[in-house]
Amino acid sequence: MTKHLKFNHLLLLLLTTILSITHLTSAIDLLFNGFGPSDVSRYLHASIESRILTLNNGRALYPSRIPTKQPNSSLVLPFSTSFVFAIIAPPHQGNSIRSNGVVFCFVPRDGVSCSNPTAHFFGVVFVFDTGQYYEEIDDNRVEINVNSSVSVRAHESGYWPDDGRGFRRLRLANGRNYQVWIDYVGGVVNVTMAPVGIVNRPNRPLLSVPFNLSDAFGDEMYVGFEGFRRDGGPLGESNKILAWSFSNTNFSFSEGLITSGLPNLELPKTPIHRTKGFVAGRRNQWRIGNWSIWPHRLAYQEIESATNGFSEENVIGVGGNGKVYKGVFSGGLEVAVKRISRESNEGLRAFTAEISSLGRLKHRNLVGLRGWCKKDKGNLILVYDYMENGSLDKRVFECDDSKMLSFEERSRILKQVASGVMYLHFGWKSKVLHRDIKASNVLLDKEMNARLGDFGLARIHDHDDKSDGATSLVGTVGYLAPEIVRSGKTSTETDVFGYGVLVLEVICGRRPIEQGKPLLVDWLLELLRKGELINGVDPRLRTNGVFDERMWKR
């Protein structure tokens, strides 16, 4: 017990040092590949079914306000958002004016209607409207509204392809999936859209409007969507949001959206009342498949082609259950492909654990699971986001001085891992125990941001489950908390212990167990007893010319 308390004291000292010389930045990153009941607050005629958000004269807002202005300033924080939407408006008889649309909006209160603003308001509207309020604009259009339901700028819906062949119009109410990108930076609002699966984000935006949004934004705002449907059109009209990302720090965050394999809501060519896809007033309305099973099952042929037939030249890692390959899909998306042998019971358990846990989690500091494949009488395959800079252990223990991580980089990475662990324990609808936090399971993306991966030992528990379950001994020697060794019981505390060992090895530049040397924790406890804890810092950090010993001693 005494030794455990000393370790906690040592860990506290190191964490305090890290936090004392760096500052935490406030960042909002939202990523929803499909929606769960707690992801957005819904009002009026808004619902979630099969993980698709449906808005028929209803609103859906992120449950909490987000900061939208810089502290003690009127300057609006930059933001970047992307989403996939579909408007379904079957043709009907008569000459009545019809209007269907989707609004991405910021509002000051959750009770304020996006389309009828009475206070601070910013919205981008995608509307199919036969009212022809704009004689010079098509009845399919995109509008930017600021503090009013009257647009400050509008353009017929469409996109400018990068091939330079001219503007291409898009019809909004045909049920087709469209992806939208909205950025605000440098006082300019940029709005871009394109059909999903046809083109990547076009370089030229549809709308680019210089505008000072200071008067439209409070210090904090709600963000989300409204859908509207006017004229009481036929049953089956609806507005769908299939995926959404938002960030005020990372303008490439939308790359985490999964746009392949989405439900096809496109209207059939034959009259609506003759199709099997839609039966007005009956049970079988808009059968769109089992979208609730996530992530997506991928075709084996696609994965095989992406990895050049699982070529040895594409191997980027080897684990206990199989090899990891770099793959490139036809659209240019780089991925990491883990191939697990079905002959291994451990491999099958790991495969199932990854899909059931990581497959439903989305966080900026967790490796993204793109999809999976289970080939008959073959291998089990998991497809992840590709991490350009490899694993953390390689950058701490197996690199030359030119690639050595600085103290600032190490501390930032450790805080990012802590953010991911916090999300696992408290940020999702269930509590997730990783059970194998270590340097080789922390991966670094192209911006050197940390992503916690390898959920093969993960377990999911209810938040009110105090037992957390007793299991056989699992984890990696050197990272195991004493209670795991004694009882086999894992908990959030044992995850935190493993994270603590990770902090020590990254700052000290020593693995938890090294041949011919005392255990890392024992060695540091002895240095602490002698008052020489400063000597535990990675010697390469102490000799690179920027080491401040006085800071460490404080």
Point out the residues that are catalytic: 436
Q: Which amino acid is at 454?
A: D
Distance (Å, whole) CA 469 – CA 488: 9
Under DSSP, the state recorded for 210 is E
* Torsional sign, CA 264, 265, 268, 274: positive
338 is in an annotated binding site: yes
User: Exposed e or buried b for every residue in 358-392, given b needs 16+ CB within 10 A?
Assistant: bbbbbbbbbbbbbbbbeeeeebbbbbbbbbebebb
Number of H helices, E strands in the chain: 10, 26
Residue 54: closest CA among 265, 259, 222, 260: 265
* Rounded CA separation 475/236 (Å): 51
**What is the amino acid identity at position 21?**
I
Distance of CA 15 to the CA centre of its chain: 26
Residue 196: name the closest of 133, 259, 238, 149 by CA. 259
Write the single-letter amino acid at 8: N
Per-residue 3-state assignment (H helix, E strand, C coil) for 18-87: HHHHCCCCCCCEEEECCCCCCCCEEEEEEEEECCEEEEEEEEEECCCCEECECCCCCCECCEEEEEEEEE
Residues of the binding site for ATP: 338
Residues of the binding site: 338
